[in-house]
Structure 1
């Protein structure tokens, strides 16, 4: 990158191009929402409730494996290089899904595509966290979430346009997926000009290169001070040597891993992806026709994007724990109302519109509070030397939970109906609130190195997270 560019301009370019991986993450997980009704038709892939779940969840199972692979690879060869390779993987896998002749081939390529999605879900937020300053880290990392929901919105809009222009064409769903190759090409060219993470370079002993990149994204005094802080932190970690899974058993790191798994669990059992994957079918089950449901589902994508901008603002103003727990309470209320009205108004003309309104409300809490905090916390809590490995390990559990949601929801919807399916999520979310109240840490306002020092020296296992949160600044 040109040295004439300001640090802010360089960081914007880093954020913009690297998050195209998140855009692909969103599009590839969201396109099935409108495509499933067409893929399921006779003469196409002939899917039933079970095979719909398999086609959807095969990507999620691949993502679980990709999360572990992505973390290891990014620690070994660098964050930037992994994202660059992912652009090729996304392109090839999306093309394979587009041309799939039957359900078996589609499932295989969805699994391959999932590996790329899982890698991106780990490496992109890690890369963003390491490139940003402490005061901007929440907002920068939240760009990852913005691009995920923007990718899902793009999928919903493309689905709506194609459905209403080519809806009678047998291969309409193939056109929906083919669009995913475009952002993969943009990601490739963008990552060619983006620098590597200075923290990763420093962890490999390449201090000169790390300083050079820090000077591109910070002013000179800040770059020198930050490099010194990184050096001091690496010196504390020197006894750990090469990062391995055995290192995750070190007591203070093990504690963070369990907290991370809990945060990942919470992100998925809200039920958000029952809407993002099957929103069209939910609206169909409440009374909309197929084309109307595909169009109505766009509202879910729009509110997700708008709520993410609210998340940007909240991350600067509100502590992470308050956002997380407050968002979960809003989600529980929304789920209860969906379950209640789908029971009381079953078969009425009002029900589909009420369900659409309540799914939009649900997503406002999810994408405006819970999802932004999830990805920021996971990118913040782990030490530099183990960040890729630990992020991959924790995100593996996130995707495994998502796999079961994607697999089981169409079966639940078919056998239990909308009311009881969402009552299951209500119970799970009550458990989630209790878990986060007890264990979620507060990280706002601290550099990654200071957070690591804080967690490393946490020696009071009986101390509650409420007490720990009081030790962190309430505002900055």
Structure 2
């Protein structure tokens, strides 16, 4: 089925939709803050809790492994109980995890609650983009879903700035890191109490047979005629799928669904293999290795956070005007180019030249800007768009699980690889992975811009085997 929906004209419903997006993306803000706060909290945390280097790596990385589990479990819970319900649950987990970390008397307790925080981070990364994509009109889906990525990078940047401010005020206290972590409880409260007044995903409601409730939600965030037309389209697809939907692992036996899941996994893994989180986690260390003084590296590293925000701002402005595939190919071309320039600068410029660290900084910042303006938000957007309705959260959970595992590989492997090989070979490896990503995208990634979620699903199913969910034609 393919329909021409009435235009989504501005009105009071537009403001309601904007409020929904703001509240839901507090989950992204928490995602960003909780992954970025350790950057400044780590040194006082190590001193206060007597952490060795091995323990330090364990405490930092356990959040990433928790996020992998949270993405997988969160996707299943979201399909079963609803997107809104899952976000409310995640807000409570964020609160428990944050307070547990703040009050931790020892590093094992801290590690336990860092894992709990990871569950919430992973669950949010799998649920919030799906919720936004399902409640958004297709014309605005790109910019609204991308707001979550804006909040993620804003949360990371806020963590860098808040850490610096708190350290200047209370830096002499051994427990200063606890104040840094405590800040995260505020957006967790905002997420929980805000979502109490937000609607459920209309597409999830249709999947549960609650058509009247779904129409009521659409009437809050669409014009009346658009709501009626859109509910008819979603109902049509839901009726097609109703006979044999399992929403789980057995659906991966359907060729076209398995193909989409593999595309999603590839997107998630290649996004992380750009090395973006090696910069977010270890940017100060990288700049020190490049030739900056310790103090200079800390200041210079804030540019990575700033240009993350600037990049995503540019991305959101053009997201609905350029095809997804075009932006992805351009993004990986740019990041691969800047990887090469970082590597060549580290390899060819003499260490005695005072401009060398600044040259590397410029190319790293341009890499971060290019990544966050294209690949970063586009991967999350595509993951929220490409899967069939009834297994959308489950499939996103599987893909985000793989994304987080790739994140963990980069996070754990970057410091020893740089130490063993140096900056230049490390960034040449990233460049090679970028070339592989370009081939993958060109050959496998479908275009989704300008189509409703239902139109894309039907077209892709028809083009790749014509077999529906559960194995029927």
User: If the TM-score is normalised by the length of the shorter chain, which range does it land in?
Assistant: over 0.9
> Cα distance, 1:236 vs. partner?
1.4
Pair 1:429 & 2:418 matched: no
State the match for 2:397 in structure 1.
Answer: 392
- Rounded Cα–Cα distance in structure 2 between residues aligned with 1:284 and 1:161: 22
3-state SS in 2 of match to 1:443:
coil
- Rounded Cα–Cα distance in structure 2 between residues aligned with 1:39 and 1:424: 32
Pair 1:31 & 2:68 matched: no
- Rounded Cα–Cα distance in structure 2 between residues aligned with 1:234 and 1:410: 48
- Rounded Cα–Cα distance in structure 1 between residues aligned with 2:272 and 2:448: 21
332-341 or 68-77, larger mean C-alpha shift: 332-341
| Structure 1 residue ranges without an equivalent (≥5) | 462-476
3-state SS in 2 of match to 1:278:
helix
Pair 1:242 & 2:246 matched: yes
Contact 1:159 1:294 in 2 (8 A): no
- Rounded Cα–Cα distance in structure 1 between residues aligned with 2:40 and 2:426: 21
> Cα distance, 1:168 vs. partner?
4.1
Pair 1:73 & 2:77 matched: yes
> Cα distance, 1:51 vs. partner?
3.9
Pair 1:363 & 2:368 matched: yes
- Rounded Cα–Cα distance in structure 2 between residues aligned with 1:410 and 1:160: 23
- Rounded Cα–Cα distance in structure 2 between residues aligned with 1:164 and 1:353: 26
- Rounded Cα–Cα distance in structure 2 between residues aligned with 1:94 and 1:45: 20
State the match for 1:10 in structure 2.
Answer: 16
- Rounded Cα–Cα distance in structure 2 between residues aligned with 1:359 and 1:34: 20
3-state SS in 2 of match to 1:277:
helix
| Structure 2 residue ranges without an equivalent (≥5) | 1-10, 467-473
> Cα distance, 1:198 vs. partner?
0.7
- Rounded Cα–Cα distance in structure 1 between residues aligned with 2:83 and 2:138: 19
Q: Per-residue CA shift, 1:65-88, capped at 9, x if unaligned?
A: 111111111111110011011111
Shift in alpha-carbon separation, 1:37–1:288, aligned structure 2, 3 A: farther
State the match for 2:470 in structure 1.
Answer: none
Contact 2:255 2:465 in 1 (8 A): no
Contact 1:156 1:294 in 2 (8 A): no
> Cα distance, 1:397 vs. partner?
0.5
297-306 or 15-24, larger mean C-alpha shift: 297-306
- Rounded Cα–Cα distance in structure 2 between residues aligned with 1:401 and 1:408: 10
Shift in alpha-carbon separation, 1:38–1:420, aligned structure 2, 3 A: farther
Shift in alpha-carbon separation, 1:292–1:94, aligned structure 2, 3 A: farther
> Cα distance, 1:324 vs. partner?
0.6
> Cα distance, 1:455 vs. partner?
1.2
Q: Per-residue CA shift, 1:156-206, capped at 9, x if unaligned?
A: 111222334444433332222121111111111111111111111110001
CA RMSD of superposed structures (Å): 1.8
3-state SS in 2 of match to 1:239:
coil
- Rounded Cα–Cα distance in structure 2 between residues aligned with 1:389 and 1:47: 38
Contact 1:413 1:421 in 2 (8 A): yes
- Rounded Cα–Cα distance in structure 1 between residues aligned with 2:127 and 2:91: 13
Shift in alpha-carbon separation, 1:38–1:142, aligned structure 2, 3 A: same
How does the TM-score come out when normalised to structure 2? 0.92
> Cα distance, 1:358 vs. partner?
1.9
176-185 or 286-295, larger mean C-alpha shift: 286-295
- In the alignment, which of 321, 326, 343 is matched to residue 322 of structure 1? 326
How does the TM-score come out when normalised to structure 1? 0.91
Shift in alpha-carbon separation, 1:291–1:348, aligned structure 2, 3 A: same
- Rounded Cα–Cα distance in structure 1 between residues aligned with 2:110 and 2:418: 23
